[in-house]
């Protein structure tokens, strides 16, 4: 039985107000709080380490699997390994995410290692949201590691969001694409206080006509620090694009480190980066509509991260 606080966190990270339709596994304070498999999606526990295997049958269409994690005990630290085996010609939604509520003085930490093995012509939409709350002095630490292995003609769209309240995060994403595979990543990130966030992407386009589009939008407020480190390698006729678009506020710091490696004459790789403050005329325009300066800034930031 989940508490009101746990449901609040689930709403933040997975948009859940009740037990979801379809397959799901809800993890709370290092224990299972509910699981359901379906005819086409089987969820089983790993036997050697903490984590899950999710098997999606070939041809599965318009189905979903939710695997959110909630931590509400101060000092709790865990590492979870989840593997997704997505069958050929399937089309599924996978919703993950983790929320930590820490009201104590000890650090709480969740490290989630997710591996995706995506079959030929399969389509996956993956949503991962991170959220922190609680008034304790202990940190809320989230370190997601995502590995994506894509077969010919497959497609993966990833929405990676850090909402608020996460003190430290080290986010690593590795992707390997075969011929005709397409990867789209949209990262949205906001840090405040003394928070630190590191995002690393290592994408390799191995097959002909493989394509990747990795875009990060972020806001650094107060004394927070962010580093965006993105590398795309093209080993065949392919197209890769990576972009970092950031707003810096107060005493925040942002470092963008682009890297492109072309190992084929027909590899087309592009990187874009922009870091700057909110334009004064934008704030003035909104203030003429009756908003305070602070309200104007919030409107601009919220629109930027949408």
Which tens digits make up the pLDDT trace of 80-135?
A: 999 999 999 999 999 999 999 999 999 999 999 999 999 999 999 999 999 999 98
Task: For 176-204, write each residue's pLDDT tens digit.
Answer: 999 999 999 999 999 999 999 999 999 99
pLDDT score of 44: 97
At 148-173, the pLDDT tens digits run 999 999 999 999 999 789 999 999 99
Q: Are 216 and 243 in contact (CB under 8 A)?
A: yes
At 13-23, the pLDDT tens digits run: 998 888 888 99
Q: What pLDDT is stored for residue 184 in this prediction?
A: 98
Give the domain ranges of the chain: 4-280
- pLDDT score, position 19: 87
From the list 114, 42, 125, the residue with the least C-alpha distance to 90 is: 125
Average pLDDT over residues 1-19: 88
pLDDT over 80 (residue 286):
no
**Nearest-angstrom CA–CA distance, 200 and 126:** 18
User: What is the DSSP pairing of strand 31-36 with strand 41-45?
Assistant: unpaired
Can you give the pTM of this predicted structure?
0.94
Task: List CB contacts of 89: < 8 A, sequence separation 6 or more.
Answer: 58, 59, 119, 120, 121, 122
For residue 235, the Cα-to-chain-centroid distance in whole angstroms is: 26
Closest CA to 96 of 149, 43, 155, 47: 43
* pLDDT at 70 (0 to 100): 95
How does pLDDT run across 50-78, given as a tens digit for each residue? 999 999 999 999 999 999 999 999 999 99
Question: What pLDDT, on a 0 to 100 scale, did the predictor assign at position 242?
Answer: 96
């Amino acid at each position: 039985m989940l508490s009101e606080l746990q449901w609040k966190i689930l709403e933040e990270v997975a948009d859940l107000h009740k037990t979801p339709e379809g397959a799901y596994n809800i993890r709370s304070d290092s224990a299972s709080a509910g699981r359901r498999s379906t005819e086409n999606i089987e969820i089983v526990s790993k036997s050697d380490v903490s984590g899950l295997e999710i098997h999606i049958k070939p041809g599965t269409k318009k189905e979903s699997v939710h695997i959110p994690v909630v931590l509400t005990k101060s000092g709790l630290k865990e590492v979870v390994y989840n593997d997704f085996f997505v069958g050929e010609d399937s089309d599924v939604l996978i919703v993950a995410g983790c929320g930590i509520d820490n009201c104590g003085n000890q650090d709480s930490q969740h490290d989630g290692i997710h591996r995706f093995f995506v079959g030929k012509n399969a389509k996956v939409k993956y949503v991962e949201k991170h959220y922190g709350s609680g008034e304790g002095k202990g940190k809320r630490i989230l370190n997601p590691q995502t590995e994506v292995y894509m077969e010919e003609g497959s497609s993966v769209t990833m929405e990676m969001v850090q909402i608020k309240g996460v003190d430290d995060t080290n986010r690593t994403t590795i992707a390997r694409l075969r011929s005709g595979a397409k990867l789209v990543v949209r990262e949205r990130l906001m840090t405040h206080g003394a928070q630190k966030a590191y995002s690393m992407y290592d994408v390799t386009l191995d097959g002909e006509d493989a394509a990747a589009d990795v875009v990060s939008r972020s806001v650094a407020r107060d004394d927070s620090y962010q580093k965006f480190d993105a590398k795309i390698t093209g080993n065949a006729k392919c197209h890769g694009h990576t972009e970092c678009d950031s707003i810096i506020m107060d005493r925040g710091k942002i470092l963008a480190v682009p890297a492109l490696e072309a190992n084929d004459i027909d590899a087309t790789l592009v990187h874009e980066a922009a870091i700057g403050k909110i334009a004064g005329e934008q704030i003035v325009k909104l203030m003429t509509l009756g908003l305070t300066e602070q309200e104007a800034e919030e409107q601009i930031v919220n629109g930027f991260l949408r």
